Structure 1
């Protein structure tokens, strides 16, 4: 009975996980081999035809490369979050205020953030007004120019999600034993040496987690470009295209195949990252 007790406690969580994760995923994989339109009761089996379409039609798979903008933005976001977390881990004036300012954007709903930045990027809007104050008059369509739209949208994601990584890094840095900082101070180490030899090794697992979240988030961007541009033109992401295939064009089989490809890519990237940067576990026994 004692051996069964842990499983009895886990049973509700496992039941929810199976019911709302694994069963839907299995259904999605099954539909990806059919031409289901979302309404018919008897979809026809088409084998790998949906996957063949994804990889042979550039307009379908090509939108995957839009994620590179968000991946670059995620790298900037992680670097900034790590910098601010390290600086604010020391005694700095108004430290609590700066913490709140950095974390506040993450608390705002993504749709609200998108509407705010619609006014920020519109012609003669907030951004143009700020640039005019410093004598710059770019007169550009930040959300209408194909060369600028993805950079503008990915910058919004940096602003919004910086706070999440900041809190993760700050908590990890503060968990580093204080005696290590004291020993480094006695040895005359500067801030860069403290970061390189004490902080960086101590927060490595959290950095790895942030990288995984950044990659998966970059590949599955949806709400910001969908609200701000509707996924029009060059701003269409892979997830927006998948949603439109299913609910606008009624191609649920093809959309399911796209979702399966996205899932495989995320799992593969996560596996590679875990192989390249494994967790360092210290044996205390």
Structure 2
């Protein structure tokens, strides 16, 4: 009898009473979800306010000013698309656009590859691991002006370290930053070197999160190092790849300090990038409307690069 009584609630739960008893749980569950949603939006509010005030509002202002001839004098006139038409007829803007795109497509993949290789090396059990991690990360926390000043000495045509090392291998002395053919590659090298630490830290954290069980299973199956990397480690790094890619694209489009300190956009506009040209047009030429049009084009380029980068990353993960 007692056994039958114990089974009765279970039978009711399986039959029609199940829906009746499940409703309170559903309401409680949905109420808990709404509470979590409200808490989430509450926590996001400071960041959303910051983004709206310091990012969205200036972006909208730049779009509006790009259709005017505002020049800091207080007076302005709506001129339509004249700024954009003039931009694409401006040789300096064309050089800045070309240099920025070239800088991005060279620096981003090379920096990601080198950072991943360094992270793989620092993920091993070697002596002095903490020292090496600190050394690689040190350029990230060093002021860009200080970094640029050191590299100015390295690239010095007479007493610089670059020519001294090159002479040991029979290379001819180069002007580096004074030669239009080598100035931009020289800046690329500095940009890659300075950004390695931040990317390396992200990859290192991702590598330490790779499933130990999968690694052990792959080793037990007789997989070699390349097979382990290709089939276990590489797929696990997908989110890290995406994060590093997006942040690297944004950073390369924002390069300014290196150009300002090391080359001033020269020689012959060979290192002029969009941010430096925007600065010149806005604060030296006092053409804020024209500089705003250039800013809008840069924002569109950044969005396009991020979209293409994210799309390619998703394809790699699916493959």
Tell whether the structures are fold-level matches, with TM greater than 0.5: yes
Could you tell me which residue of structure 1 aligns to residue 216 of structure 2? Answer: 182
Could you tell me which residue of structure 1 aligns to residue 95 of structure 2? Answer: 62
Which structure's relative contact order is higher, taking Cα pairs within 8 Å and 6+ residues apart? 1
1:177 Cα shift? 1.2
Distance in 2, matches of 1:277 and 1:195, equals 17
Distance in 2, matches of 1:226 and 1:260, equals 21
1:139 Cα shift? 2.0
Distance in 2, matches of 1:227 and 1:144, equals 14
Could you tell me which residue of structure 1 aligns to residue 20 of structure 2? Answer: none
1:6 Cα shift? 4.2
Compared CA separation, residues 279 and 108, structure 1 to 2 (3 A): farther
Q: Tell me the TM-score normalised to structure 2 length.
A: 0.81
Q: Report whether the alignment pairs 1:77 with 2:111.
A: yes
Q: Which moved more, 1:224-233 or 1:206-215?
A: 206-215
Compared CA separation, residues 153 and 280, structure 1 to 2 (3 A): closer
1:109 Cα shift? 1.0
Report if aligned partners of 1:71, 1:214 keep a CA contact under 8 Å in 2: no
Report if aligned partners of 2:263, 2:271 keep a CA contact under 8 Å in 1: yes
Any unmatched runs of 5+ in structure 2? 1-33
Work out which of the two has the higher radius of gyration on C-alpha atoms and give 1 or 2. 2
Hey, which of these two has a bigger chunk of helix by percent? 2
Compared CA separation, residues 34 and 82, structure 1 to 2 (3 A): same
Could you tell me which residue of structure 1 aligns to residue 303 of structure 2? Answer: 267
SS at match of 2:79: coil
Report if aligned partners of 1:71, 1:218 keep a CA contact under 8 Å in 2: no
What is the aligned length?
279
Could you tell me which residue of structure 2 aligns to residue 90 of structure 1? Answer: 124
* Alignment RMSD: 2.1
Compared CA separation, residues 206 and 279, structure 1 to 2 (3 A): farther
Distance in 1, matches of 2:48 and 2:260, equals 33
Report if aligned partners of 1:205, 1:279 keep a CA contact under 8 Å in 2: no
1:227 Cα shift? 0.7
Could you tell me which residue of structure 2 aligns to residue 18 of structure 1? Answer: 52
1:279 Cα shift? 9.1
SS at match of 1:188: coil
Compared CA separation, residues 278 and 116, structure 1 to 2 (3 A): same
Any unmatched runs of 5+ in structure 1? none
Report if aligned partners of 1:85, 1:166 keep a CA contact under 8 Å in 2: yes
Could you tell me which residue of structure 2 aligns to residue 258 of structure 1? Answer: 294
Could you tell me which residue of structure 1 aligns to residue 65 of structure 2? Answer: 31
Distance in 2, matches of 1:7 and 1:262, equals 31
Report if aligned partners of 2:95, 2:272 keep a CA contact under 8 Å in 1: no
* Map 1:156-175 → 2, pairs under 5 A: 156-175=190-209
1:27 Cα shift? 1.0
SS at match of 2:178: coil
Could you tell me which residue of structure 2 aligns to residue 192 of structure 1? Answer: 226
Distance in 2, matches of 1:4 and 1:184, equals 44
Q: Report whether the alignment pairs 1:49 with 2:49.
A: no
Compared CA separation, residues 166 and 32, structure 1 to 2 (3 A): same
Q: Report whether the alignment pairs 1:228 with 2:262.
A: yes
Report if aligned partners of 1:35, 1:46 keep a CA contact under 8 Å in 2: yes
Q: Tell me the TM-score normalised to structure 1 length.
A: 0.91
